[in-house]
Amino acid sequence: MTEDTVQLQGLIDRAQAGDRAARHELLSRACDRLRRLAAKIFRESFPALQNRHELDSVVHETWLRLAQAVEAASPPTVVDFFRLAAHKIRQVLLDMVDRHRRQAAREAVGLTGVGGDPVDGTYDPARLAEWTEFHRQVDELPADQRTVFELHHYLGLPQAEVARLLDLHPRKVSYLWIEATDRLAARMDGHDH
């Protein structure tokens, strides 16, 4: 385990024992990583949302949801904490997609008539729907593949660190990553895997 992982586990242990300061420090440390991850996912998967939402709003909403979830669920390990964080990032972005869709539909009906083009030319319903489906499919992966995918893709952890966190051989992590990405690709192409 890295020194950072050991420190995070110490904070998690203290938080589970009721230490509110440890819970706050854990969430504060997570904020920088949440910002980097949200920026990556926001830019790559949800570019149409950038005209309506700032990165700070994504990070803030994710942090609030994560704080509530940590209070309720008390994840017992660093891996569980990071998985919960990845899940909350996805939830926030998917909720923003849903709000964006509803707003675009209202604008289209109100300003251009039924079936007209949305006023915001950057809104691409097909691309947005595809990315939304992709992030929902992540939740359908087998647990071991989903864990590796969340830690590597959403949280940006190198596969070597994922292997250490999960106490797996690096080749096993690589295998699970390949299986997860193959399964997602097949599902996105309309084939079950």
Say whether both 102 and 9 belong to one domain.
yes
132 assigned to some structural domain: no
Q: What is the pLDDT of residue 105?
A: 60
Query: Could you give the CA distance from residue 43 to residue 38 in angstroms, rounded to a whole number?
Result: 8
Q: Which pLDDT value is given to residue 147? A: 93
By C-alpha distance, which of 23, 37, 26, 156 is closest to 90? 37
The range of the structural domain enclosing residue 156 comes to 140-193
pLDDT < 70: residue spans in the chain: 1, 100, 102-124, 191-193
Query: Are 116 and 160 found together in one domain?
Result: no
Residues 16 and 104 both lie in one domain: yes
Q: Is residue 133 part of a domain?
A: no
- Between CA 27 and CA 46 the distance in angstroms is 25
pLDDT given at position 191: 57
- Domain count for the chain: 2
* Tens digit of each residue's pLDDT (9 = 90 or more) over 116-171: 444 444 456 777 777 788 888 888 999 999 999 988 888 888 888 899 999 999 89
Q: Return the pLDDT at 189.
A: 73
Tell whether 8 and 86 lie within a shared domain: yes
Predicted confidence at residue 1, as pLDDT, reads: 66
